[in-house]
Structures are given as structure tokens and as C-alpha cells.
Amino acid sequence: MGAKILVVDDEQGIRDLLSLELGNREYQVATAANGEEALKKISQEKFHLVISDIKMPRMGGLEMLDAIKKADPDIEVIMSTGYGTIETAVSAMKMGAYDFIQKPFNLDEILALTEKALEKNDLKTILGIYETSKAIFSSVKLETLLPIMAEVSIRVLKADDASIMLLNGDGKLKVAASMGLTDDDRAQARLALGERVAGKAAESGKPLIITGPLEQDARFSDVESLRDIRSSIVFPLLLEGQVMGILNINRTSKTDSFGPCDLRHATILGSQIAQAVHNAKLYAELEKKIVEIQQMQAQLVQTEKLAAVGQLAAGVAHEINNPLTGILGFTEIMLQNDGLSAEQREDLESILHQSRRCRKIVQNLLQFSRRRKPKNEPIRLGEILDPTLQLVQYDFRSANISLKTHIPEDLPLLCVDSSQLEQVFLNLVTNARQALEGRKDGAVFINAAQKDGRVVIRFEDNGPGIAPENLDKIFDPFFTTKPVGKGTGLGLSISYGIIQEHKGSIHCESRLGAGTAFIIELPARTEQAP
């Protein structure tokens, strides 16, 4: 369907002529004899273009133009005049007319102008929207998206600078992207502007045009670097009634102020930006959830692994214990014989030693399979950690390894099975001790902190670190890199199981050559808990 054009002229002849000619070219044409009549028609239906005489009875062209631009800035207006001076034409252009044409006009000229005006009317907004939409789909990362949006805002609104400010977690406005601002001072000043009017804009949910110079405005007179602003739009970025931030667009060099037409375009841009921010936030949340699910999955796999090995271990352990009782018992009985040669005694001692080693392995296996429900005693972390460290203190000192702890006084109580946790802590410090074997500057640092209702305990050493390819295997049962006889590969699996039973988590951060840290998180005791 063709565009709708309103022809306004007090001369019947011109109205008829243009109606006929434009109508022949697929346009829908309506007519009015003066400004008043024209405004009435515009209020009733949407027109894309008005071709109007300047001098008319009742309401003249300029007065009408002003009213049209206020009512619907997207309507293009071509003024025609038979006697007009350049001054009248210029003031018409200033008021937002698309162009003007002198009477008596050449029909071809007016048709060409009509076509161009309609094209512009359409393209102008579509282009801006197209650019922003394109940007929205180009990325879900705000770091990429927002600068593009700011740039498009400048272009569409013929502005000199644009900033997008977003509310962060604690409700403070922060500049997320800005364009056209070379120095930081000016960017910060835009933030001050945003902060000062954000509340107001947010409250009304409506955009704000501030016409400069700003030093005369009491709200901004104290901000030095805002003085260059001649005209400013502050647009609240809303989504479902919630303010997410502010789009601020400024003109500093151009003399003309932002008008209602610009505000409309800012509205379109603003809603697109708000949507993009919302999308990006949703995407980030989704990403976080995926990571959570992956972690949970990994944890489940680990738990399954532990359970399967535990079951197997329990069965094997019982089968081995009886024959081992025989070996150990008879070896001891033989050793009670006084008539043994030194060599025989030595050999028997060796059997004894090896069977004890077997027994230790079986015991570890059993402990592993024993998924005892932990007790829940309220206790201070220090009460568990201190006795554990006392056990290794002598060994650390004689190996010249420094052992430092930092436990804040106000650390909340834990609600745990202290003997099980002692076992975990002992396992971690023993591992660290073994990793630091033979080093001159070996150090182990244990510190604790509270975070979101949890107690975080970090065991850190400056040992050789864990090879990246081993990092995801260290909690697997029987995985060990220690020399034969030095470890069964169950310590960390058992620790993992214990921490999990306590509804906590344990993970490892390590870099080759830099050291290793094990981080345990346990729920802090809540006030309501007994």
C-alpha cells in the first residue's frame, strides 16, 4: 500500500492537482484547506508526508509544522511558498521541515522531492534499528555489544558522545561502554550526570532531554567536565519496569538541541539496548548454570567411582584378612623360636614386615569402604587443626619446612565429625610434606576464611605442583604418583568422600613449578542448628 500524503493548501486548484497526480502514483492522498484542518486529520490517522503551503488563513504553515513535529516527529513535511523569502524557508527547515519548494512548482520536481522525503522517513529509523538488531545478534557478550550500541547511538542521533551505564549488583551505576569520550574525566562526568538524573528517569520511566549549557543548570553546575554538553538525552534502560541502566547521548559541538524526533529514536535504541543487556545477562546465567551442572556431574561420577571401589574393597578385604591372619600369626610364632639362625630370623622379619604392610593396605581399603555418617559436633576449626598439626610439627621442623596458619578469630563454628576431618587435614599436610621432600625453602600455609555462610580452608604448598594431566585424577581411588610403598592412592579419595559427607567440597589448584593448593569448603554452623 502506498504512503499516505496530506496536501494542505488554501487554493482548491492546487489541492485537486496534487491529489490527482499523487493519486495516480499509488499514493493515498488526503487534503486540508488550512493548518487547523490538517492537524485534525493528522490526529485521526497516520500520515507519512505533509505537503503544505506556508501562508494560509486560520493557521499558517509554520505554526502547523511546529504542531506536527511535536505530535509525530516522524512525519516529513515539505513546505511550499509562492512569495516566501529565504528567511521563512530557513525557519521552516530549522523547525524540522524536510525541504521547501517555490510556487509555481514544477510537477516533476515535487514528485521527486516527495519520493525522496518518503524514502528518508522510512530509512532513517529502519537503518538505526537494523544496525542495533544486527549488533544484538552479533554477540552475547556485553563487552562487545555495548560499544557497538554506543557507536550506533551516536550515528543515529547525530551526537558527539554516548555512554551506556549499567546498575551493578550493589545498585551503583557504572559506565559499561562509552564512545566519543577520549579522556576518563569526561567519562566519569557522564556517570555523574547519569547518577543525578537516573533516579528521576527511573521513577518516571521516561527519558529526559536536558538542554544546555549545563553550567546554568543547578543540578550539574558543580561538575566541571559537563560544561561542554549543549544538549543531552538521558534514557532509562527499562526491562519489565525495572531500571537496568541509563543510555546517555550528548551533543557538544552542534548547536541544535535534541528534539522530540531524536527522543523517539533514542527510545527505539534504548529498548534494543535494554533487551540486549537482558539477553546477555540471561546468557551469563545460563553459562553459570551449565558450569554448575558440569561440576555436579563430575561430582556424581566421582561419588559413583568411590562407591563402586568401596564395595569391591570391602569384599576383597574380608577375603584377604583371614589368610593374612595365618601368615602374620605363624610368622610371629616362628620368630618366638630361639633356635633360629640370624639369616632365618631376618627372612622371617621380612615376611612379618611385608604382611604388616598388606594389613595396612587392607585397613585403608576398609576405611575407604566405610561410609560412616559423620557426627555433627559444633567445633572451632582450630580445635581440629591444631592437634593434627602437632602430629607433624616435629617432622616438619626437622625437615626444615615452615608451617604457617592463619585462622581468623571470628571464623564461624563448624558442625562436623572432628575425627574424620582430622584425617582429611592430616592427609593434606602429609601430602604437602612429601611434595616438599628435599627442598630448602619448603613452606606450607594454611588459612581459613568465611564466604557466603561457608568456611573456606586453604592448604597451600610451594612444592613442584601437579602435572595438568594428573589434576583430574588425583581424587580417583588408587591413583598415586608416589613411589611404590609410599602411598596407596586412597588418601585423597577418602578425603573427598569425607568432605562430601559433610556437604562440603574439596578441589585442587596447582601449577607445575609453583605449588599446589587444596581448597575445602564446609558449611558454617547456622544459628538455628542445635
Which chain residues interact with another protein by CB under 8 A?
A: 313-314, 317-318, 321-330, 332-333, 336, 355, 359, 366, 369-370, 372
Read off the DSSP letter of residue 463.
Answer: S
**Shortest separation between residue 172's beta carbon and another protein, angstroms:** 54
Give the nearer residue to another protein in terms of CB position, either 325 or 526.
325
Q: 230, 255 in Cβ contact below 8 A?
A: yes
Q: 181, 159 in Cβ contact below 8 A?
A: no
Euclidean distance between CA atoms 384 and 391, whole angstroms = 12
Give the nearer residue to another protein in terms of CB position, either 177 or 498.
498
Euclidean distance between CA atoms 284 and 278, whole angstroms = 10
Q: 280, 140 in Cβ contact below 8 A?
A: yes
C-alpha grid cell, residue 63? 505554526
Write the CB contacts of 18 (distance below 8 Å, at least 6 apart in sequence).
Answer: 7, 9, 29, 31, 51, 110
C-alpha grid cell, residue 164? 551506556
**Shortest separation between residue 364's beta carbon and another protein, angstroms:** 12
C-alpha grid cell, residue 260? 522530540
Euclidean distance between CA atoms 456 and 265, whole angstroms = 51
Write the CB contacts of 448 (distance below 8 Å, at least 6 apart in sequence).
Answer: 381, 406, 407, 408, 411, 455, 456, 457, 458
**Shortest separation between residue 330's beta carbon and another protein, angstroms:** 7
**Shortest separation between residue 416's beta carbon and another protein, angstroms:** 17
Give the nearer residue to another protein in terms of CB position, either 140 or 366.
366
Q: 315, 335 in Cβ contact below 8 A?
A: no
Q: How many CB atoms lie within 10 A of CB 113?
A: 20
**Shortest separation between residue 171's beta carbon and another protein, angstroms:** 52
Give the nearer residue to another protein in terms of CB position, either 137 or 330.
330
Give the nearer residue to another protein in terms of CB position, either 314 or 443.
314
Write the CB contacts of 372 (distance below 8 Å, at least 6 apart in sequence).
Answer: 420, 501
**Shortest separation between residue 470's beta carbon and another protein, angstroms:** 29
Give the nearer residue to another protein in terms of CB position, either 130 or 330.
330
- In Å, how far are 308, 310, 390, 405, 450 from 447, measured between CA atoms? 34, 32, 16, 5, 11
**Shortest separation between residue 384's beta carbon and another protein, angstroms:** 21
Q: 479, 489 in Cβ contact below 8 A?
A: yes
**Shortest separation between residue 333's beta carbon and another protein, angstroms:** 5
- In Å, how far are 303, 358, 505 from 308, measured between CA atoms? 9, 21, 20
Give the nearer residue to another protein in terms of CB position, either 33 or 334.
334
**Shortest separation between residue 475's beta carbon and another protein, angstroms:** 22
Residue 371: exposure state from Cβ atoms within 10 A (0-12, 13-18, ≥19)? middle
Give the nearer residue to another protein in terms of CB position, either 356 or 503.
356
Q: 104, 83 in Cβ contact below 8 A?
A: no
Handedness of CA 27, 32, 33, 35 (dihedral sign): negative
**Shortest separation between residue 376's beta carbon and another protein, angstroms:** 16
Give the nearer residue to another protein in terms of CB position, either 355 or 431.
355
Give the nearer residue to another protein in terms of CB position, either 329 or 468.
329
Give the nearer residue to another protein in terms of CB position, either 208 or 316.
316
Cell numbers 513546505: residue: 79
**Shortest separation between residue 308's beta carbon and another protein, angstroms:** 15
Euclidean distance between CA atoms 249 and 335, whole angstroms = 94
Give the nearer residue to another protein in terms of CB position, either 135 or 313.
313
**Shortest separation between residue 500's beta carbon and another protein, angstroms:** 18
